[in-house]
Amino acid sequence: MEDKDIKRKAKRKDFSCEIKARFGGHGDYTFFAVKDISATGIRVIITRMVKPGDELEIEMFINGWIIHCKGKIAWALLLRPGFGGINSFDAGVEFCGMDAQDKDFLEKLTQ
């Protein structure tokens, strides 16, 4: 399937903010830079090895609204080999288990 054939589940909006997440629901939180956002997911820059299917526990603070949800890596691309062995990845994160109020907030944000 070519990229032009892929249908997005929700409208995306360029958006810049930081979120924090932890992989597998344990360990320390890691901060990610958000590149775009929709009601169903976000595109982030991650400075650790990730692969599709990796699960995340996410906390976002957007315009005074706090969202807690789960997510999973939908896709990841290596941006460049990192200095000192630290790589950067462009990754898509799909939201899972988000409550209806938070999803409504994100839908209004991305209109």
Domain ranges of the chain: 11-109
Q: Are 59 and 19 in contact (CB under 8 A)?
A: yes
Average pLDDT value over all residues in the chain:
84
- How far apart, in whole angstroms, are the C-alpha atoms of residue 47 and residue 12? 23
How would you classify the pairing of strands 65-80 and 88-96?
A: antiparallel
Look up tokens 């589940």; give the residue: 9
Look up tokens 């903010």; give the residue: 17
Distances (CA, A) of 55 to 19, 22, 36, 107: 15, 9, 19, 23
pTM exceeds 0.75 for this model: yes
pLDDT tens for residues 16-39? Answer: 777 899 998 788 898 888 999 999
String of DSSP letters for 63-98: TTEEEEEEEEEEEEEEEEPPGGG--EEEEEEEEES-
CATH code of 11-109, in short, is 2.40.10.220
Question: How confident is the model at residue 72, as a pLDDT?
Answer: 96
Answer yes or no: is pLDDT of 98 > 70.
yes
